Structures are given as C-alpha cells and as structure tokens.
Amino acid sequence: MSRIGKKPVIIPSGVKAELKDLTLTVTGPKGILVLPLHPKVLVTVNEKEILVDVKAKDNKREKALWGLFRALIQNLVEGVTKGFEKKLEVVGVGFKVAATPGKLTLNLGFSHPIVVDVPKELTVAVDKNTISIFGADKQKVGQFAAEVRELKKPEPYKGKGIKYSDEVVLRKAGKVVKVVGGGK
C-alpha cells in the first residue's frame, strides 16, 4: 500500500472540490486549479476530504500513480488556500532587477537588458536583488523560477549569477600561481 496515497486530503473551509469525468477542479480564495486524472486512479470527493485509490494495489506502477496523484491533489488544495512562493537572489556587481506589471527586466552583465514576460497566473515582486515569485500553481511557480535562473546560472568561482535563496553554491579555488625562482 502507498503510505502517501492512502492518506485523505483534507478540504479546508472556503475550498470547493468538484469531480467531473476524469477532471478534478479545486476552487478557493486564490483561484481555480484543474487536474486531469489518470484512468487507473480512482478519486472520491466527500464534504471534508478527498480520497485517492487505484484499481490494482499490488501493481508497482499503479502504486506510484496513487502516491503521485494524492500529492498533486494536496498541492492543488494548498495552492488555492495559501499559494506558493519561490525566491531568487541575483548576485554580482552591477546586476540589477526591475519588475513592471507583466514584465521582469534583468541587467546581468550582458550588452543588453533581458526582458522576460511573466505568466498571467503569477505575480513577481522585486526587493533590491531578490526576486519573489508568487502563484497558486506549484508547477508554474517552479517552472518560471527555473527559467529565470537559467538566464545566468551561478558560477563556481565568484558565485555571480541567479540562485535560489536556499541554494548553496560550492566555490572552487582559483588558479594557483607558481612562484618563479623561489625553490630548489
């Protein structure tokens, strides 16, 4: 049995879950999220909880689907109630970030500023050199954060670039210069 899959997903007050055919729709204060379901996953929506099950509990692939879809449904419920946030830090002399509605402008040491379109489901806030990305859909928040980080990954010598706020950049030692004429 799947340890994660057999736990029910609790529906908090103010959240409404609706199952129609193979689509689960969750509505809450932060928005509406839709999840297409796999045909082998059985979902039951009650007043206060959502139960997830599979047809063949002894099949390894179906057990994996069981835990996966329970986690995805939990993320839907958490997203429409609290939302998700990712923070990125821009490290480097002269690196600047500015946010306007729908756009994110980054000066990352290239000859031109990079302008990134922000998806309409997400909001972006900039405080000095910290980018905060907010949204109800965990996958879209993480994907947009990864796309922004990809523009200038942190390099291992000085640590310059865009990194997640909790990421640790392992530093390498620079070149070791040989001293000429000092040895035997």
pLDDT digits (tens, 9 = 90+) for 70-114: 999 999 999 999 999 999 999 999 999 999 999 999 999 999 999
Q: State residue 150 phi and psi, 5-degree precision.
A: -65, -20
Q: How many CB atoms lie within 10 A of CB 148?
A: 22
- Measured CA to CA, the distance from residue 10 to residue 26 in angstroms comes to 12
- Measured CA to CA, the distance from residue 82 to residue 119 in angstroms comes to 19
For each of the domains in the chain, give its residue range(s) and CATH number, in order of start.
Answer: 9-81 (3.90.930.12), 84-164 (3.90.930.12)
Q: Is the pLDDT of residue 138 over 70?
A: yes
- Measured CA to CA, the distance from residue 126 to residue 96 in angstroms comes to 10
User: 23 falls in which pLDDT band (50, 70, 90)?
Assistant: very high
Helices 60-81 and 138-150 pack at an angle, to 10 degrees, of 90
**pLDDT recorded at residue 183:** 56
Mean per-residue pLDDT, 121-131 = 94
- Measured CA to CA, the distance from residue 41 to residue 57 in angstroms comes to 11
Mean per-residue pLDDT, 125-139 = 95
